[in-house]
Chains A and B, each alone.
Chain A
Amino acid sequence: MDKTINQKAWFLVLPVFLVVAFSAILPLMTVVNYSMQDTFGNNQFFWNGVGWFKELLDPSTDLGERFLASLWRNLFFSAVILAIEVPLGIVVALSMPREGWRVAACLVIMALPLLIPWNVVGTIWQIFGRPDIGLMGYALNSIGLHYNYVSNELDAWATVIVMDVWHWTSLVALLCYAGLKSIPDAYYQAAQIDGASRWAVFTAIQLPKMNRVLLIAVLLRFMDSFMIYTEPFVVTGGGPGNSTTFVSIELVKIALGQFDLGKAAALSLVYNLIIIIVCWVFYTVMTNAGAERQANKGVA
């Protein structure tokens, strides 16, 4: 087939190219530029090579210690909220009604936390947990628990985790619900005929049919929790001490608190790299699962 050559097509690509250049490529390159330099203000910069990156990965330096500590803290946080939100989301999805007006009611109620702006979520829990005027804080203290998220690390962690579970379990539940809805009735009827117990129905039908949406749910929740900033910042401000300082909070402290642009740039590049790698791993796993399914369709 003869292709007509028409160089005018480049003009059609140009707007997109410009938008991407100014919104992604140039800012990123600026960050790369900063990460190689040091500044003492006055817009004067000094070449530092890979110095910041070396420091970042070396726990004996101040920067490295802070970065690695916040990284482990953040990974632990992500692991905890995944361990709670995924099973809880599945349970919620399983117990949601299948038809009638209750479905709509459930969906609306479940979507509510997802619609609230993140700093408002933080504010809600910040007030909710205050021992003097907060409903939860006051109630816990009046039954004899000395709950205070401002001074106690464990309380601060518990608050941040419960807040995240409150905010995001619905997302997992809604995704699982969509997965469950896509299972044809015949599967349940066949399971009934085969005399399967409730547990067998779950492990043999529901869980396998949900595995794709679960992967997506885990990916979304991991990304979000790994990049979490607003809610813990509003509630605890990263404290008490540094106990709830996650990577993004640390990054903002370095970049805007201390104005160490070089260190902050190096940190954000590494941070970015971690997220891209995790994304890539998930993407590979998901497309492999998809390819397997596709291959089966081919055979069938």
Chain B
Amino acid sequence: MARIDLVDLAHSYNGNAAASESFALKPVTMTWRQGGAYALLGPSGCGKTTLLNLISGIVIPSRGKILFDGVDITGLSTQKRNIAQVFQFPVIYDTMTVGQNLAFPLKNRGLPKPEIDARVAEIADLLDLAPYLARKAMRLTADAKQKISLGRGLVRSDVAAVLFDEPLTVIDPELKWQLRSKLKALHRDLDLTMIYVTHDQTEALTFADTVVVMHDGRVVQSGTPAELFDKPAHTFVGYFIGSPGMNIVPAEVRGREARIDGHTIALNRSYDGLPAGAKIEIGVRPEFVDVAPSAPGLLSANIERIDDLGRVRFARVRIGDAKFAARVPPGFSIPGKVAGLIFDPSHVHVYADSRLVEGSA
């Protein structure tokens, strides 16, 4: 049970702490509060596993500090950190039974036998492993094995946090969903800090109350799923989260207006004093742009195709050279190759060099 603070934490695998370009994890300062359910979301190779391994102590950082409840534990070994971690592929001890597997972390820490037995029984119960306790772990299915790995992470009552490194990769979709609900239930029951690494946005958004998005070794945004959806702090968050992702188009922004392809779009806030020389883009989610019959005063676009997602239809269009997606309102039939676009001004964001600009009211 602990709050985890990262202070100017960074890591480079080739041991060069000076050149920030070689950092697998670029300097980050942030706090993980006790009892939170976090998801660490990002594409492969963005540094999320590095960050996880730094917290668990498998990797020692080249720079910065890690505090558990204010105590610096940067130099401590994994064993002394009270961290549990579950890996991508199930790790089980082949020669042991399920029960012995679950008891292993406690036995290594020299707990008395009655206490171990009680704890193992409790966790086995939570994970529906109770009927298998006496079975050899080696003979079980992949999802049962992964449950054992989870169990070994949860069995210690003193852990500061449980870290999950893409734990459901090897699990069938159906069971994936069950296990994820199980994890969520466990989080509610056990009041543990959980950090869940994944590159699957659905997994992140359904599991976590705070999603931390990483890109290219940097934490680009951390917030609730709704915040990430409504107000992406970085263009990467915009198109990584949501399906289809956010439309990002280069634009000229002046005051309360943005010009795209010679056409003016109204903005809700005023954007004066944008940094000179920066790459200015506007971002808007397809959900907030409607396709309409082309008319003067509307930005016109060439329709390439319509994607029917069942619940909703999206038109893939082109504005000049830029690709764009927009919602097709229910009951609307496409008149021809050219259509107009209606923007919802409150959801049009302005980005300078990929970062969100707040603007003024």
Contacts and interface: CB of A to CB of B under 8 A. Distances in A.
A299 B89 contact: no
Most chain A beta-carbon neighbours within 10 Å: one of B53, B84, B104: B104
Contacts of B109: 195
Nearest to B163: A193
A187 B149 CA distance: 11
Interface in A275-300: 295-296, 299-300
A184 interface: yes
Contact of A200 (B83, B108, B140, B142): B108
A204 B145 contact: no
B151 to A, nearest CB: 11
Nearest to A192: B78
Interface size of A as a range: 20 to 34
A262 B204 CA distance: 79
A299 B152 contact: no
A295 B57 CA distance: 36
B142 A300 contact: yes
A84 B104 CA distance: 31
Contact of B85 (A184, A193, A299): A193
A195 B110 CA distance: 10
A212 to B, nearest CB: 12
Contacts of B141: 299-300
A204 B88 contact: no
Contacts of A204: 93, 95-96, 104
Chain A facing B: main interface SS:
helix
A195 B109 CA distance: 7
Interface in A243-300: 295-296, 299-300
Interface string A180-216: 0000101101101111110010011100110000000
Contact of B139 (A193, A200, A209, A296): A296
Interface string B68-112: 000000000111000111011101011110000000110011000
A196 B108 contact: yes
A209 B138 CA distance: 12
Contacts of B84: 193
Identify which of B53, B77, B91, B145 gathers the most chain A CB atoms within 10 Å of its CB. B91
Q: Which among A184, A193, A200, A296 has the highest number of chain B CB atoms within 10 Å? A: A193
B78 A193 contact: yes
A208 B95 contact: yes
B140 A299 contact: yes
Nearest to B93: A204
A205 B93 contact: yes
Nearest to A299: B141
B48 to A, nearest CB: 16
A194 B104 contact: yes
Given A186-B88, A186-B89, A300-B141, A197 B108 contact: yes
Contact of A296 (B79, B104, B138, B152): B138
A193 B142 CA distance: 21
A300 B108 CA distance: 29
Contact of B87 (A186, A295, A296): A186
B185 interface: no
Given A189-B58, A189-B85, A204-B93, A194 B105 contact: yes
B56 interface: yes
A184 B170 CA distance: 15
A194 B108 contact: yes
Contacts of B94: 208-209
B175 to A, nearest CB: 12
Contacts of B56: 193
A187 B89 CA distance: 9
Contacts of A192: 57-58, 77-79
Contacts of A295: 139
Contact of A189 (B87, B105, B108, B142): B87
A190 B87 contact: yes
Interface of B: 53, 56-58, 77-79, 83-85, 87-89, 91, 93-96, 104-105, 108-109, 138-142, 145, 149, 152-153
26 contacts: A186-B88, A186-B89, A186-B91, A187-B91, A189-B58, A189-B78, A190-B87, A190-B91, A192-B58, A192-B78, A192-B79, A193-B84, A193-B85, A193-B153, A194-B105, A194-B152, A195-B79, A196-B108, A200-B104, A204-B96, A208-B94, A208-B95, A295-B139, A299-B139, A299-B141, A300-B142
Nearest 9 CB-CB pairings of A with B = A190-B91, A195-B108, A194-B105, A186-B87, A192-B78, A204-B93, A208-B94, A300-B142, A195-B79
Given A193-B56, A200-B104, A296-B138, 17 more contacts: A186-B91, A189-B78, A190-B91, A192-B58, A192-B79, A193-B58, A193-B105, A194-B105, A194-B108, A195-B79, A196-B104, A196-B108, A197-B108, A203-B95, A204-B93, A208-B95, A300-B142
